A and B are shown apart, each in its own frame.
Chain A
């Protein structure tokens, strides 16, 4: 079993709250377009952690998530001129990250299997509980990854990327009701998939 030294796991709500409260996005983007490198670094500081967390939840590998995060920003700098402000910047960045992830898993590169999940550090719950949670988490991730593409994007963007329904609707150019409908359908499929796994 592979050992990993990673930071303690934190729930996603904290970082996403920071992103939601960030309302100076327009100023920073204008500064970047004006060639301000400091503004670009500020943008990275504010967003990279959330991007990494989203990618980790999708791929289950911290190192791979870090590589994909780096690749995501590389693509973002190249495509920043095409950002039209239709959605929030993080929503746009999340779409790049999601596409980067899909491209990565289509390449012949293995994803982290269940037994290679990161080890918990001292102070964690009992071993049985930890194992059970890991197994459940891995099954859930596998079930999400087996969803049809548009449902998978919606679920991962909403629950793992922390994007509100409204932002997903803007990103996908659909209505909020359509996003909720996708989520409802995704839950039905996930339930069926998880039940199938338990048998």
Chain B
């Protein structure tokens, strides 16, 4: 636009004529002045307060929406997480079928002697476990010894993103609770007692015979790992259960006493060789450092073994 054209346009705009107001307009306007003058001096603050209330309402709504979305997403992600992982409670080892020759041996076994102390103790302990013992025994085997699957799971968990760690923690706590179940202990004690020959001449009571038989007849590795103070040394007490003539080989650990091994790295592999039905069998178990219990959670038997190994009697 040229300067001349622009100044011409400005001149025309400024020179736009306007007539004088009609006569009487001032009177009409003055006649509408409210009487008395009600100047609402608080109008502005009221508007400001109203605006503030509106803003606060919107902010609160947004906040509620955000929190709701967060909680919903968290719940959904947890559900999804549980859907992709096997919860600890669902880990079941199918009960092993008793070999026919064992069933025959059991059928010929003598009636339990009421005075047998070892049997009495074992029987009481099994009874203390209640009727769930038969169901829970495999879990107990996992909790105390057969920790292959949890060990694998723990390894997988390490590979998972850190954001799902809280859910894992909850699961781990639930698992520890399972470990701490008193019901698991009697079966293990009974099994250990049998393995040590204490119940050689004894038989379980009729009520629990099936459950105890299940526990007794399946050879397996009882292993308990513990963090032994001071320091973070991990000791593993290994008991070959239901296989008295078993030989134990350990990879990733060194033997410190009979049945007690010190983990040298983060993983220890245990192999148990035993004979069954005239053939040599091998069981292999892997224990990782994360499976180790705290000293407080460790069983007294393992504590004693570790203490004895660290402070040998003179």
Kindly identify, within residues 38 to 80 of chain A, every residue whose CB is under 8 Å from any CB belonging to chain B.
40-41, 44-45, 48-49, 52-54, 56-57, 62-63, 65-66, 69-70, 73-74, 77, 79-80
B34 — which chain A residues lie within 8 A by C-beta? 77
Q: Which residue of A35, A49, A69, A80 is within 8 Å of B20 (Cβ)? A: A49
Taken together as a complex, chains A and B put the C-alpha atoms of A78 and B42 apart, in Å, by: 12
Does A155 reach chain B (CB closer than 8 Å)?
A: yes
Contact mask for chain A residues 26-42; partner B; CB cutoff 8 A; 1 contact, 0 none: 00000011011100110
Pick out which of these stretches binds chain B: A17-25, A102-110, A133-141, A170-178.
Answer: A133-141
Does B47 reach chain A (CB closer than 8 Å)?
A: yes
Kindly identify, within residues 110 to 165 of chain A, every residue whose CB is under 8 Å from any CB belonging to chain B.
118, 136-137, 140-141, 144, 155, 159-160
A44-B30, A45-B26, A63-B22 given; A187·B43 CB < 8 A? no
Q: Which residue of A80, A118, A160, A190 is within 8 Å of B9 (Cβ)? A: A190
State the Cβ distance, A181 to closest chain B Cβ, in Å: 14
A52 — which chain B residues lie within 8 A by C-beta? 18, 21, 25
The residue of chain A having its C-beta at the shortest distance from the C-beta of B34 within the complex is A77
The residue of chain A having its C-beta at the shortest distance from the C-beta of B5 within the complex is A191
- A191–B29 contact, CB under 8 A? no
A73 — which chain B residues lie within 8 A by C-beta? 29, 32-33
State the Cβ distance, A47 to closest chain B Cβ, in Å: 10
A159 — which chain B residues lie within 8 A by C-beta? 10, 13-14, 16
The residue of chain A having its C-beta at the shortest distance from the C-beta of B26 within the complex is A48
Number of A-B contacts (CB under 8 A): 123
State the Cβ distance, A94 to closest chain B Cβ, in Å: 14
- B32–A155 contact, CB under 8 A? no
Q: Which residue of A33, A44, A62 is within 8 Å of B39 (Cβ)? A: A33
Does A9 reach chain B (CB closer than 8 Å)?
A: yes
B33 — which chain A residues lie within 8 A by C-beta? 37, 40-41, 44, 73, 77
- B19–A62 contact, CB under 8 A? yes
Taken together as a complex, chains A and B put the C-alpha atoms of A104 and B114 apart, in Å, by: 110
Taken together as a complex, chains A and B put the C-alpha atoms of A33 and B16 apart, in Å, by: 36
- B43–A81 contact, CB under 8 A? yes
State the Cβ distance, B34 to closest chain A Cβ, in Å: 6
Contact mask for chain B residues 1-40; partner A; CB cutoff 8 A; 1 contact, 0 none: 1000110011011111111111001101110111111011
Does B279 reach chain A (CB closer than 8 Å)?
A: no
- B32–A77 contact, CB under 8 A? yes
- B16–A37 contact, CB under 8 A? no
Q: Which residue of A13, A32, A44 is within 8 Å of B26 (Cβ)? A: A44
Taken together as a complex, chains A and B put the C-alpha atoms of A197 and B5 apart, in Å, by: 16
- B17–A10 contact, CB under 8 A? yes
Q: Which residue of A6, A81, A160 is within 8 Å of B19 (Cβ)? A: A6
Q: For B32, B34, B39, which residue has the most chain A Cβ atoms within 10 angstroms?
A: B39
State the Cβ distance, A108 to closest chain B Cβ, in Å: 24
- A70–B25 contact, CB under 8 A? yes
The residue of chain A having its C-beta at the shortest distance from the C-beta of B14 within the complex is A159
Q: Which residue of A62, A84, A190 is within 8 Å of B22 (Cβ)? A: A62
21 examples of A-B residue contacts, CB within 8 angstroms: A6-B22, A9-B17, A33-B39, A35-B37, A37-B33, A41-B33, A45-B26, A48-B21, A48-B25, A52-B25, A62-B22, A69-B25, A77-B32, A77-B33, A77-B34, A81-B41, A81-B42, A82-B43, A137-B17, A191-B1, A191-B9
Apart from A48-B21, A77-B34: 6 A-B pairs, beta carbons within 8 A: A6-B20, A9-B19, A44-B30, A66-B21, A81-B44, A141-B16
B-side residues, CB < 8 A to A, are 1, 5-6, 9-10, 12-22, 25-26, 28-30, 32-37, 39-44, 47
